[in-house]
Chain A
Amino acid sequence: MFTRNLFFLGFILSPTVLADVPTPATLLAYNCFNCHGDNGVSKGGVPSIKGLPANILELTLKNYRDGTQVSTVMGRIAKGLNDDEIKELSAFIATLK
């Protein structure tokens, strides 16, 4: 009974558990879907990104950003992202199921 009450108190005190409000870097990641497909699954030539390992995504984005890896459009977008954003949005995309 006491555990249940404690659980309920936690529920009252934490209205945020009801919603999963994304962080700014996660919101940036949702923009990826516009070219890479719904939830990161592409329907064509642009590669799917859903569930790719975070370290691979991070490295690839940084390579696009500094021009080490050639791209059509990705490098231009990556230039607008800082290291922290790249790290966090890569980690988020890696968790997509």
Chain B
Amino acid sequence: MALHRRDFLKLSALAGFSLSSFRAISETTANNLNARVVIVGGGIGGVTAAKYLRRFAPNLQVTLIEPSTEYVTCPVSNWVIGGTRDIQSITQKYDALHTRHGVKVVHDWVTQIDVEAKVVTTKSGAKFNYDRLIVSPGIEMKWDSIEGYNEAASEIIPHAWKAGAQTLLLRKQLEAMKDGGVVMIAVPANPFRCPPGPYERASLIANYLKQYKPKSKLIILDAKDNFSKQALFIQGWKDLYGYDTPNSLIKWVPAAEDGKVTAVDVKRKTLRTEFGTHQADVLNVIPPQQAGLIARQTGLSNESGWCPVNAVTWESKIHPNVHVIGDASIAGKMPKSAFSANSQAKVCAAAVVSLLQGDDPATSKYVNTCYSLLSPKQGISVAMVYQINDDGVIDEIAGAGGVSPATGNRQLEAVFAANWYDNIMADIFA
């Protein structure tokens, strides 16, 4: 249907419109129809944003750029390390994103983001123009922040804090360890990805040792003096692994008791703390972290190593038209979790559509729920609802959320933990 100039003039007279205002409106309309959103990173945040952008605005051109052709999730990867799930069961595919939701998925490595020209360049030399960019690169390890622990060292002493080959390497080492061996996990200070993760990992490794290598021990060397869901974990360890008894399978060493690891000796398989050297048969070093490489390269991060954003729109406080979500962002009280990244991605997707239409984005609340297993049949959780406070910072809502009650139904929460995984992955990848 064509709108003839004569008809238009007649109509604009009717509506009291000038030609220039018609132009302004039609440009907004055209922009909205054909706007291009590029997403860098095919993890939880990026894929959720892509799917929901198309749900909210089916005419948007959405391109997601991610080097891997499948995604091994960090959630539930501790269960693989504990030996109760295989890696295939936590491997997600990008097919539905393209076939069901019409997102263009490009498997390539982003080498440069030109925030002035609004162009993303990949390793293969391809260029992608965008009107709005969403960067969801996850984390990178801060190599050498623990002396001697770099990428090469991680091939021998895994961090297993990005799921995939690292997860399998740690699992293989646990399987090869003799009964009576010592497993040692080094845990960083806050903030880092998945705050309860190291303690769930300790629980599920202890569960494996209890069954197959009962003379073994697990020691956690921690750079902190307290941790997520601490009371529930400690109670679980007492109930299941003899914690605080001479035969305890698990020992937790807080920073105050010289728990902070400062150096790794790969050849000798030792960890050094301020006052001691610790020998183990299997070492797992979870190093301090920072925003993914492309975010830092693009200058989206500040001196903290993470990316400051507007809590309503997730637009970078450093570069306009670029949004940063997920673990790489500074998200106030929200933890770096899959649920957080998903919750942020949905709000960010809605904000991007509003901004492309020239509307003011609405202020939303956020939700997080994290399940952890104490054993394959016992689960605990932490949940929270968040709102943006007067300072523009994401804060917890007083009276909401919290951890499972001390007398909670651990069996049911273990069932829900497995169900949560299947359901959130379907929300993202199906």
Residues of A at the B interface (CB closer than 8 Å) are: 1, 4-6, 8-9, 11-13, 15-16, 18-24, 27-28, 30-31, 33-38, 42-46, 72-73, 76-77, 79-81, 85
B354: A residues at CB distance < 8 A: 21
Residues of B at the A interface (CB closer than 8 Å) are: 1, 3, 7, 10-11, 15, 22, 25-26, 28-29, 32-33, 52, 55-57, 59-60, 339, 342-343, 346-347, 350, 353-354, 357-359, 362-367, 369, 381, 383-387, 397, 399-402, 404, 408-409, 412-413, 415-416, 418-420, 422-424, 426-427, 430
Q: Are A27 and B427 in contact (CB under 8 A)?
A: no
Question: How far apart sit A5 and B60, CA to CA, in the bound complex (Å)?
Answer: 26
Q: Pick from A13, A21, A24, A36: contact of B363, CB below 8 A.
A: A24
Q: Are B383 and A43 in contact (CB under 8 A)?
A: no
B412: A residues at CB distance < 8 A: 45, 72
Question: How far apart sit A31 and B383, CA to CA, in the bound complex (Å)?
Answer: 12
Q: Are A21 and B365 in contact (CB under 8 A)?
A: no
Main secondary structure of the interface of B (DSSP, over half): helix
With known contacts A5-B11, A22-B350, A77-B367, A16–B381 Cβ distance under 8 A: no
Instruction: Supply 7 further A-B pairs (C-beta < 8 A) apart from A36-B423, A72-B409.
Output: A34-B367, A34-B423, A35-B416, A35-B420, A35-B424, A43-B422, A72-B404
Q: Are A15 and B401 in contact (CB under 8 A)?
A: no
B367: A residues at CB distance < 8 A: 28, 31, 34, 77, 80
Q: Are A80 and B384 in contact (CB under 8 A)?
A: yes
Q: Pick from A13, A45, A76: contact of B401, CB below 8 A.
A: A76
Q: Are A27 and B419 in contact (CB under 8 A)?
A: no
Q: Are B11 and A9 in contact (CB under 8 A)?
A: yes
Q: Are A73 and B416 in contact (CB under 8 A)?
A: yes
B386: A residues at CB distance < 8 A: 80
